[in-house]
Every structure is written in C-alpha cells, then in structure tokens.
Amino acid sequence: MDLAHVSLDNHAAYRVIMARDARFDGRLFVGVTSTGIYCRPICRVRTPRERNCRFFATPAQAEAAAFRPCMKCRPEIAPGAPHAWTVMDASRTLARQAADALDAQAASGEAASLVDVAGRLGVSDRHLRRIFQTEHGVTPLQYLQTRRLLLAKQLLTDTRLPVAQVALASGFNSLRRFNAAFVESYRMSPSRLRGEVDDAGFDDRAAITVKLGYRPPYDAAALLRFLAQRAVPEVEVVDGLRVRRTLRAGTVAAVAGWVEAEFATTAPIVLLRFAPELAAASGRVVAAVRRWLDLDAEPQTIDAALAALPGAPGLRLPGSLDAFELALRAVLGQQVTVAGARTLARRVVERFGAPLRTPWDDMGRAFPAPSVLAATALERIAELGIIRSRAGAIQAIAQAWPEIAALLAPGARAEPLIERLCALPGIGPWTAHYIAMRALGWPDAFPPNDVAVLKALALWRGAPTTTQREAEAHAQAWQPWRAYAVLRLWNSMEKTTP
C-alpha cells in the first residue's frame, strides 16, 4: 500500500483506528466529537464509536476544527510527513515543500514569512496560499500555528524549561500572546498542562529530554552500525542503543553543544537528550535529529519497493547533523576505506577542532568550522597525510560553504546542490551525490560508479560483473527509494566480506 498520500473514506479510516495500524501514524488523526480531543491511530484509549469520529490528515486540520491533542498518545511526537520529492503531482509537491519550509520556521522560532517561502519556491504568495489550502485543508498560518503549539506542548510535557523559554523556543515573541494562543486552542493554560510545576525549580544545568516517535519497523542495529563505522573519535560515539555526538556552533544552533539519542526497547520511541545550552534552539534540535535518524520514513512503502533486494525491513537512511563535516568526510573517503577516512577525520579534529565540555570522557571536541579550514594554509591540511588535491578540495568546500549551506534547507531539491558541488575542484559526481544523499536525506540518490554497489548487484544477479548502465536500468524499479537500495547493497557486501 502506498501511504505517501493517505486518502481513505470514513469507514476505511475507522478500520485503521480499530486496528491501531501503525502504518498510518502521523498520516491520519481522529477527532472524537464526544470529547473534543484528537488522537493518533495508535492511541490505546478505548476506541470511540464510528459516528463520533472525524478524520484528518494533519494535526493542523484537527485543530482548525477545534479539537485538542490527546494527552495520552501525544500527536506532537508522531512521525512527520514523507519527503516532498516522493510525490509526483507538481501542486502537491509544492504544497509539501511549503509545509517543510513552515516546519523549519516553526522549529527555528523565527518570525514567519510566507512571502519568503513563496519566493524561495518560485511562486507568488497568493498562488502558494491557494494550493496550500487545497492540499492541506488549512491556511499556511493555521498550519504554522499548530506546529508551534505542538512544539510548545512537547517541551512543556517532556522538559522543565520555564514557560517563558518554551514560548520563545516555539516561536512566540510574547509570553502574553503565547498564553492566549495556548488557551484558545487547548482550553487550558501552559502551566496547567504542565501540572502547575513551579518554574523556579528549573535547573539550567540539566540536560533537555524529549521523546520522538517513528513508524515501525526500524532497523536500529543497521543504522547504529553505519554510524559507528564512521564515527570520528571525540566527536561521535555509538554505545549500545545510544548514539551521541558534539555539535559545533553554527550547525543546529548558534552555540556549541551535544546530543544523545537512545532507542527505546519497548515502544517506537527515541529518547533525545541534549545540552542545556541548546534549550533556546529546542525546535531546531528536534527537527535536525528527526532528519539525522530518518524518523519520518514510511518503511512499509520503502520495503515493498525493495522487496527483491537483500536486507531486513525497516532500514533507515542515516542523515547528518553537520553537513560540512559530512562533506569533508566524503572527500576524505575518496578511494580509501571507511576506516582510513575515519583516521584522517580524527587527525583533522585533533588539529583544528575546538574543545567542548560534555558529560563523557570520550567525547570532548567539536568538528572544525568552515571558516577555520577556509583560512588554514593548504600545507597544514596536507601534512596530516591528506594528499594535496584532496586538501585543496577540502579548502574549496570550506571557502564556498556559505553558498553551499544555502542549498541545504529542509526539503530542498538535490540538483542545485549537486551542480554546485561538482563545480568545485576535486568533487566528482559520486561525492556530490553522496553528500546530497545524507545531508539532504535525498531518498532517490544513486551515486554513480559506486564500486560496492556494482559488485553487490553482480552477486545479486549471478553475473560476473555489472556496468553502471546496467545498474541504472535495474535501479529504475527502485525509484524514488534508490538511496535505500544503495544501503541494502552496501550492507549485503558487509555480510559477504570475511
């Protein structure tokens, strides 16, 4: 079943609710007229009668109809919508891209501007408003308000942040306006939702902890193994079902910090903890981690498309919390092993990285900023054992980073990024596609002439070799999930390698 765009009649939607079908989590919500509350389809409360149910595709639609979010299933932690580029219809894609941009605005806490979003998408704000309401059933401002209120509800429920700080982190510049919007939408004050906890008891040294949901299955072991093999010492550490890493200033927030994500064993939940210094950027941290761990993927749709390939269900596409670090790692990995690239990255961090205080002894440096490497003499980079042409490519990326970073907005198209990267010295199509695959979370990336992919395809086909043309022909059947196919093929080679 293709869940990219849920379209169900009321009776079919009610069957989803009765079955508590996790495939529709985050894609379908039920409002109960007898209580005025809306829930996720997986909610464990007693199933309401069908005549009391109204069904919605988004929380914004439910809240526009005056329903309040359930306190038990918590719609604010549900997985989000799928990638905009998995939709074929142009208007629907544009509306989804606009929603991604509004999600980013809600997470950033910055003032909303539909004019800016429309300009970035190349349409008028009037046209964008029209197709947005047609697709999403609410206005862009209603959508944005819902995203901000749900983020606030999450921070009020999971953290001890003062209400005033929650308001700012959620994009409300006025505590009075925040209280008024919260009471109007949820019919209770923020402090009542929290349970009348006194903000004076807030410890500004304590880690911020929130919960993030996803659609099962999720092959956490495969994702954590991928990250562990590439983890740069002192920057990133994988420990059991946990992955933690440092964040340099200028990645997710203006200040440096750290994050730790742990996969729960009893529910499809990731427990996210992050440094108190990042509290003001809580929305951006949550959004970035969701992309990093691919928590909004629809595994059933992806697995069905790749059923013929080897691999377990629930494979996720590892993203990145620092696109600049990823780009440099991609250059360092050219024509060397994963372990060799990791060694070179460690040397870069040891020489140019900044010290950072964390709760762990094995993690205490942040990856160097683009400005640091852009201003470094080429010889100082090359003397780390990096051949001169790659050192030059690193410096070129660092110097062009302000322009490149502008192409990395959530939901941005991959083609402009690839074109800009390939214009730099030492950056070929494979490196550019790999960066787009992980930095943008591009699900249809298919890095050309990948040696491991060609070998794995040959084994899968029972052929002595596979050419790039043959690989591309086979890969047509996997669109728009070719990046996941690449991961399955890479993983199959790991299992066959002594």
Q: What gap in Å lies between CA 192 and CA 157, rounded to an integer?
A: 11
pLDDT digits (tens, 9 = 90+) for 415-463: 999 999 999 999 999 999 999 999 999 999 999 999 999 999 999 989 9
Q: Considering the domain boundaries, does residue 4 fall inside one?
A: no
428 and 489 assigned to the same domain: no
Averaged over 280-302, what is the pLDDT? 95
Q: What gap in Å lies between CA 142 and CA 102, rounded to an integer?
A: 11
Q: Residue 448 carries which side chain, given as an amino acid letter?
A: P
231 and 257 assigned to the same domain: yes
pLDDT digits (tens, 9 = 90+) for 48-101: 999 999 999 999 999 999 999 999 999 999 999 766 555 557 788 888 888 888
- Of the pLDDT bands very low, low, confident and very high (cuts 50, 70, 90), residue 380 is very high
The residue among 178, 200, 222 that closes a domain is 200
Q: Residue 463 carries which side chain, given as an amino acid letter?
A: A
- Of the pLDDT bands very low, low, confident and very high (cuts 50, 70, 90), residue 202 is low
Q: What gap in Å lies between CA 340 and CA 376, rounded to an integer?
A: 23
Q: In the chain, pLDDT over 90 holds for what percent of residues?
A: 83
The CATH number covering residue 421 comes to 1.10.340.30
- Of the pLDDT bands very low, low, confident and very high (cuts 50, 70, 90), residue 3 is very low
Averaged over 185-201, what is the pLDDT? 77
Q: What is the pLDDT of residue 119?
A: 86
Q: Which residue has the tokens 């994500």?
A: 261
Structural contact between residues 358 and 344, judged by C-beta atoms closer than 8 angstroms: no
Averaged over 182-208, what is the pLDDT? 79
The CATH number covering residue 36 comes to 3.40.10.10
61 and 19 assigned to the same domain: yes
Q: Considering the domain boundaries, does residue 367 fall inside one?
A: yes
Give the chain's domain count: 4
Q: Considering the domain boundaries, does residue 17 fall inside one?
A: yes
Averaged over 101-108, what is the pLDDT? 84
Peptide bond into 429 cis (omega under 30): no
Q: What is the pLDDT of residue 199?
A: 52
Mapping DSSP to helix (H, G, I), strand (E, B) and coil, where does residue 269 land? strand
pLDDT surpasses 60 at 6: no
Q: What gap in Å lies between CA 329 and CA 340, rounded to an integer?
A: 11
337 and 483 assigned to the same domain: no
Averaged over 275-295, what is the pLDDT? 96
39 and 124 assigned to the same domain: no
Give the residue from 53, 82, 58, 7 showing the smallest Cα distance to 294. 82
Token duo for residue 373 = 């490497």
Alpha helices in 123-214, H assignment, sequence order: 125-136, 140-158, 163-169, 175-186, 190-194
435 and 415 assigned to the same domain: yes
Q: In the chain, pLDDT over 70 holds for what percent of residues?
A: 94
Q: What gap in Å lies between CA 451 and CA 454, rounded to an integer?
A: 5
Residue positions annotated with a catalytic role: 39, 450
What does the mean pLDDT of the chain come to?
92
- Of the pLDDT bands very low, low, confident and very high (cuts 50, 70, 90), residue 105 is confident
**Domain enclosing residue 485, as ranges:** 451-496
Q: Sort 336 into a burial class: Cβ within 10 Å, 0-12 / 13-18 / 19+.
A: middle
The CATH number covering residue 126 comes to 1.10.10.60
Averaged over 264-283, what is the pLDDT? 96
Structural contact between residues 93 and 85, judged by C-beta atoms closer than 8 angstroms: yes
173 and 137 assigned to the same domain: yes
340 and 475 assigned to the same domain: no
239 and 274 assigned to the same domain: yes
Q: What gap in Å lies between CA 102 and CA 104, rounded to an integer?
A: 5
Range from 166-170, 308-312, 407-411 carrying the lowest mean pLDDT: 407-411
Q: Considering the domain boundaries, does residue 54 fall inside one?
A: yes
Give the helix/strand (H/E) hosting 434. Answer: helix 429-439
142 and 284 assigned to the same domain: no
Q: What is the pTM of this model?
A: 0.93
Q: What gap in Å lies between CA 283 and CA 450, rounded to an integer?
A: 36
The residue among 150, 180, 200 that closes a domain is 200
The residue among 200, 227, 256 that closes a domain is 200
Structural contact between residues 94 and 121, judged by C-beta atoms closer than 8 angstroms: yes
Q: Considering the domain boundaries, does residue 79 fall inside one?
A: no
Within 10 A of 327 (CB to CB), how many other CB atoms are there? 28
350 and 369 assigned to the same domain: yes
pLDDT surpasses 70 at 130: yes
Angle at 414 between CA 461 and CA 345, to 5 degrees: 80
253 and 189 assigned to the same domain: no
pLDDT surpasses 80 at 120: yes
